Amino acid sequence: MSQLENIEAIEKRLWSAADTLRANSNYASNEYFMPVMGLVFLRHAYSRYLAVKDEIIASLPMRGGKTPALTKKDFSKKSAIFLQPKAQFDYLVALKDSDDRAKAVIDAMESIEEDYDTLRGVLPKKEYRELDNEILGQLLRGLNPEELKKVSGDVFGRIYEYFLTQFADQKAHDGGEFFTPVSLVALIANVLEPKKGTVLDIACGSGGMFVQSARFVENLHENPNDKLSFYGLEKNATTINLAKMNLAVHGLVGDIKKAITYYEDPHNLYKKADFLMANPPFNVDEIDADKIKNDPRLPFGLPGVNKKGKVSNGNYVWISYFYSYLTEQGRAGFVMSSQASSAGNTEAKVREKLIETGHVDIMIAIRSGFFYTRTVPCELWFFNKSKPENLKDKVLMIDARNVARKLKGSRKIWEFSPEQLQNILSIVWLYRGETKRFHHLVVNYISATINEAVQSIAPARDYETIFTKLNKEIQPFMATLAKGGKQAETVKELADCLKDYTSGSQAFAKLAQEKTAWWKKQNKDTIKLAAALKELEPLAEENNKLIKEAELMYRLANRLIDVCLNTHNSKDSDKWNTREIAILKKQTEAARDTAVEQLKLARYFHHQAQWLIERFPEGKLRDVEGLVKLVDKAELKENDWSLTPGRYVGVAPEEEDPDFDFGETMRTIHTELEGLNAQAVDLAKKISENFKKIEI
């Protein structure tokens, strides 16, 4: 992914290309959903095909001086789909307007279905007949940008997920409930750690749980198809097709069946699943109690039943089912309504019996705003039937409601950054006694801090160089102004700021190089983390100062240019090169952005290390107010068997935003206000002069 730094921009451009289909066809958003996802599927399948093709060819034995023909089996070993020439995306893109593109796409889909039984009848085909030939050509070309042809890694896997996300946001299918946010799925998968065995999802939607489980195995440099068996249940036929495509596009094999899980168990995996992952519908009140009252998947009994003979709330039906599918060593992780963890009456009795088993492992509270279709907060539940004896009567409570960031480009959707996800997981590692993993995570953050600091040296100097050019360019005009004019104070501030920035940049570069040399000498396995962070404090302080000076310097230059233009009519002077100053100003802004962004990266990783060490200074699990608490059965009983994390961990102290500086903010406001006041005076003067000219 690092090879494609502008992946977000490309995703948006691809989505924009696909979204034109709605404007140029008779399809509504819920109708063009599948044909678009079908083409994204083809493009991603081709991406994975190309990624492994050369490696496969190189590994094949020569026969009579010739390489044998590629086969489906060759690609299956590499978690990729074999594509016949007519199903390869470049062939489809190269078609002319005189060609029948719809037929070509349908032929491509049919050729894949012929090779893969699991996809037979799954891929969209007839929908393409409804599309204008030229529009279909535009869409094919739009999904095939040049940048994506040379990248490695699962880039199109991410794009596939991005399209699912966008369609979920539009509620283009099944109210958007087919999609579980990637952040939550990744957290569930990484807590469960499905290394080998059967993975079951009885409300599988678009199959995201399977994909993230596979990624966990891939990160261990293993083939997911060799280690995991995927089984899913889903009630919606279109969603099943989407899930099968999602599995196939990631080179995965799975068995997904159509079923209403409340009443059916077609896989017959009762007590046979090594891992269960799910995001079921919340608070369902239409389950027929009579149909399920004797179901063995309800080991703790039936939750409350209303007067209509329906289960009053289906949450604990799902929870019971999840538990019952597990083997004697099995683990489960699932999303659940936050109401369930403290629900009363018969649901509380079911919860008590569940807790008494000793298999409730971890509870994680999630803030509202993660879902596209649900605004309420939720919780992640984890069961572990193989908990060690010393943890049998304990539950780890994590309140992660204050650990999130806004999804890029969205005003309402939240997610975990990769580092926030790792930080939550590190708490789980400490709970499990895996202190080395915690230690190595912090070490990685320290390494990243120092590396990003070193990478900041060049852009910080480049900014100073281009800024000096801009400053030099305005000096001829500045020399024509009276020394005590309106510009005088800004000129002095700017000179002082530039001086501070220059000396600060030099000090920062020196410290970055010193800390690099120091870090190389350290034994990363035994180093005291708190002491290491203390060693980095001077570098962190210089980093923060340099960010402030860089931003202030640019604002002051802007203010000075505004004074020259608006107060002193610099454009009328032969000492003012309007074009050159405009070019240099734009270059200075770009250099400032590059330098500040890089400096903030160093600060960001330092903050991650600081966040963990402040909370777990000894590298061991401890209760942290507002974040985590290890709760025993006695305390659970005192609290009506509630499993709501916030009830135990308390309220988190307000965390300071590392990007917010009150003093700097006030200086910025003051600078902007002075500039606006100067403009207001000039404007009032011009208005007065204009009134005089028209004799009013």
The DSSP code sequence of 499-525 is HHHHHHHHHHHHHHHHHHHHHHHS-TT
CB 376 within 8 A of CB 338: yes
> What is the SS3 assignment for 25?
coil
| 8 Å CB contact between 123 and 112 | yes
Let me know whether 114 and 81 are in one domain: yes
User: Is 209:278 a contact under the CB 8 Å cutoff?
Assistant: yes
What one-character DSSP code corresponds to residue 132?
A: -
* 656 or 312: which leads in pLDDT: 312
In which domain, by residue range, is 577 found? Answer: 439-620
Tokens of 162: 């991005």
Q: Among 329, 96, 28, which residue's Cα sits nearest to residue 193? A: 329
Domain boundary among 385, 404, 433: 433
Instruction: Answer whether residue 164 shows pLDDT above 60.
Output: yes
What is the structure's pLDDT at 3? 34
Helix (H) or strand (E) holding 66: none
Do the strands 394-399 and 326-337 form a parallel or antiparallel pair, or are they unpaired?
A: unpaired
Q: Does position 103 have pLDDT exceeding 90, yes or no?
A: yes
Residue 117 belongs to domain with CATH number: 1.20.1260.30
What's the chain's average pLDDT? 88
pLDDT digits (tens, 9 = 90+) for 294-339: 999 999 999 988 989 999 999 999 999 999 999 999 999 999 999 9
Report phi then psi at 276, rounded to 5: -125, 130
Task: Name the residue with higher pLDDT: 360 or 31.
Answer: 360
pLDDT at 1: 33
Q: What pLDDT, on the 0 to 100 scale, is given for residue 445?
A: 98
Question: What type of residue is 9?
Answer: A
Q: Are residues 471 and 556 both part of a single domain?
A: yes
Reported as half-sphere exposure (CB side, CA atoms, 13 A), residue 521 has a value of 6
253 within some domain: yes
Model pLDDT for residues 491-517, shown as the tens digit of each residue: 999 999 999 999 999 999 999 999 999
In a domain, 44, yes or no: yes
Using the predicted structure, report yes or no on whether residue 157 has a pLDDT greater than 70. no
Q: At what angle do helices 578-615 and 418-431 cross, to 10 degrees?
A: 10
Classify residue 138 as exposed, middle or buried by CB count within 10 Å of its CB (0-12, 13-18, 19+). middle
368-399 pLDDT per residue, tens: 988 766 677 899 999 999 999 999 999 999 99
Tokens of 610: 């600081």
Pair (470, 419) in one structural domain: no
Q: Which of 21-25, 37-41, 451-455, 470-474 comes out lowest in average pLDDT?
A: 21-25
Please say which residue of 415, 433, 451 terminates a domain.
433
504 and 375 share one domain: no
Is 325 in contact with 360 (CB distance < 8 Å)?
A: no
Q: pLDDT: is 420 or 29 the higher one?
A: 420
Distance CA 425, CA 418 (A): 11
Chain-centre distance for alpha carbon 410: 12
**Ramachandran angles phi, psi of 24, nearest 5°:** -115, 25
Residue 412, pLDDT above cutoff 70: yes
Residue 95 falls within a domain, yes or no?
yes
- Residue-level pLDDT at 174: 45
Same domain, residue pair 299 and 179 = yes
Helix, strand, coil distribution of the chain in percent, nearest 5: 55, 10, 30
Total domains in the chain come to: 4
Query: Is 176 a residue whose pLDDT tops 90?
Result: no
Q: At what angle do helices 488-521 and 435-478 cross, to 10 degrees?
A: 150
- Which has more confidence, 131 or 323? 323
Q: What is the DSSP letter of 568?
A: S
Can you give the pLDDT at residue 173?
Answer: 44
Mean pLDDT over residues 244-269, rounded?
Answer: 91
Asked which of 563, 595, 620 is the last residue of a domain, the reply is 620
149 and 214 inside one domain: no
Residues 681, 595: one domain?
no
* 153: pLDDT strictly greater than 70: no
Whether residue 531 sits in one domain with residue 400: no
Comparing 153 with 342, the larger pLDDT belongs to: 342
In DSSP terms, which residues pair with 381 in a beta bridge?
Answer: 334, 363
pLDDT tens digits, one per residue of 601-619: 999 999 999 999 999 999 9
Residues 52 and 75 in one domain: yes
Does 239 or 111 have the greater pLDDT score?
111
Residue 340 maps to which CATH number? 3.40.50.150
For residues 345 and 303, what is the distance between their CA atoms, to the nearest angstrom? Answer: 9
Q: Same domain, yes or no, for 196 and 278?
A: yes
216 has pLDDT over 50: yes
At 36 the pLDDT is 80
Q: Specify whether 364 is located in the same domain as 461.
A: no
Q: Are residues 534 and 452 in the same domain?
A: yes
Q: Is residue 636 part of a domain?
A: no
Identify the bridge partners of residue 13 per DSSP, sorted by sequence position. none
% of residues, the chain, pLDDT over 70:
88
Least confident of 168-182, 344-358, 663-677: 168-182
Q: Is 263 part of any domain?
A: yes
66-70, 253-257, 528-532, 556-560: segment of lowest average pLDDT: 66-70
Residue at 184 is within a domain: yes
For every residue of 288-346, which 3-state class applies, written as one string? EHHHHCCCCCCCCCCCCECCCCEECCCHHHHHHHHHHCEEEEEEEEEEEECCHHHCCHH
| % of the chain residues with pLDDT over 90 | 63
Q: Is residue 612 part of a domain?
A: yes
pLDDT at 372: 67
Could you give the count of Cα atoms lying within 13 Å of 579 in the half-sphere of its Cβ?
0
Largest Cα span, the chain: 100
* pLDDT score recorded for residue 673: 73
Question: Is residue 627 in some structural domain?
Answer: no
Give the tokens for residue 172.
């283009």
